[in-house]
A and B are shown apart, each in its own frame.
Chain A
């Protein structure tokens, strides 16, 4: 596609329910990132994929959070037993990593998650 696509754009869920957030990166981009942004706050790193593997999961807040990437393309971030503090905008970004640090990140428009 032309850009990074995320779905759904908005998700309202009840506390305790599971949610899945989807990210479709730019075709050919090998690196994929998930970030969380609470209202008025910065970009909190969650997890990073290189191809289908996740070399760095250090930012996942708890074991209720998991993510996978298949076919070197689409990624799904799953939050189990959602809590109110999970409410935030979840941003996905992809980049064409060429072995250096010269690849910009391209962001999707995010999924706004509200846990009631």
Chain B
């Protein structure tokens, strides 16, 4: 049930672009994206709701395709500060009527100078 992220790890040079994918085996209502720096707590980046919308936040944007049960996070012109582990988060079993969140397998991203 845990969403699967790809790639597992990626190394970039400053200024390069990257795409992180999140795939679920079940229908989704929303996808959250978080970044966790080493030794710190995860920090919220953005939420995408059902409707295929795309959102942007500085040079980080994301898309959500609920038909494909996928979301992608796009990092353009990467900066050193983008280094960390990225997690997608999705709702758990929606039939239970609860608001449980589960997280994807994670993608380690390292940006080199």
Q: Which residues of A contact B (CB under 8 A)?
A: 31, 33, 35, 41-43, 45, 48, 50, 55-56, 91, 95, 97, 100-110
Contacts and interface: CB of A to CB of B under 8 A. Distances in A.
Given A42-B104, A45-B101, A109 B87 contact: no
Nearest to A35: B103
Nearest to B103: A43
Nearest to B108: A40
Contacts of A104: 32, 44, 47
A102 B53 CA distance: 13
Given A91-B41, A105-B44, A107-B42, A45 B100 contact: yes
Chain A to chain B: the 4 pairs with minimum beta-carbon distance, closest first: A101-B30, A107-B41, A104-B44, A55-B98
Given A42-B87, A42-B104, A102 B47 contact: yes
Given A48-B98, A55-B96, A55-B98, A109 B103 contact: no
Nearest to B90: A101
A56 B97 CA distance: 10
B12 interface: no
Interface in B7-48: 29-30, 32, 34, 40-44, 47
B52 to A, nearest CB: 15
Given A42-B106, A56-B100, A105-B44, 14 more contacts: A31-B99, A33-B100, A35-B103, A45-B101, A45-B103, A48-B99, A55-B96, A55-B97, A91-B41, A91-B42, A101-B47, A101-B99, A102-B30, A105-B42
